[in-house]
Amino acid sequence: MKRQPGWRARLSAALIACDSVPFSWENGDDCLLRLVARAVEAMTGEDFAAPYRGRYRDAQGARAVLAEEGFDSLGDALASIFAEIAPAHVQIGDIALVETPGQGVGEAVGMVVGGHISMLGLKGRASVAMRRAARAFRVPYHEA
């Protein structure tokens, strides 16, 4: 999986499509499936999250699916697919993970855009300060 030529425009369009989509476990409109997976698919042409679609409808179900797949956390699942990098080394189009204790699965993910993380919130897409990133993952570039 690698970013394809023209990925920036497709990333932008994928994120804009989430502007007014509220977070919803039940509809599959969560931070992973709706925002990150669709953004990565827009950049690479591959849906890395296809095996997870339709397998959970709430935070408890998401945790159960992660456990069934052998992962202790969402971050560990992402690290099995993408190279983990230091949050200080992120670039536009990389994935950032934010810890959310007491909410959902305890972690949320978003896409790095400029100096912030674009995430799915209760009213649609929202921005979170990059300093909140606990882990980060590189979406690889196309080799010319």
For residue 26, the model assigns a pLDDT of 86
Q: Is the pLDDT of residue 114 over 90?
A: no
pLDDT confidence band for 13 (50 / 70 / 90)? very high
Chain segment 26-64, per-residue pLDDT in tens: 888 899 999 999 999 999 999 999 999 999 999 899 999
Delineate the domains of the chain, giving CATH numbers in brackets: 7-138 (3.90.1720.10)
Q: Is the pLDDT of residue 105 over 80?
A: no
- The answer to whether 95 and 139 are in contact (CB under 8 A) is yes
Mean pLDDT of all residues belonging to the chain: 93
Tokens of 37: 């997976």
- The answer to whether 8 and 93 are in contact (CB under 8 A) is yes
For residue 8, the model assigns a pLDDT of 96
For residue 54, give the nearest of 23, 27, 21 by alpha carbon: 27
- The answer to whether 110 and 118 are in contact (CB under 8 A) is yes
User: CA 22 to CA 124: how far, in whole Å?
Assistant: 4
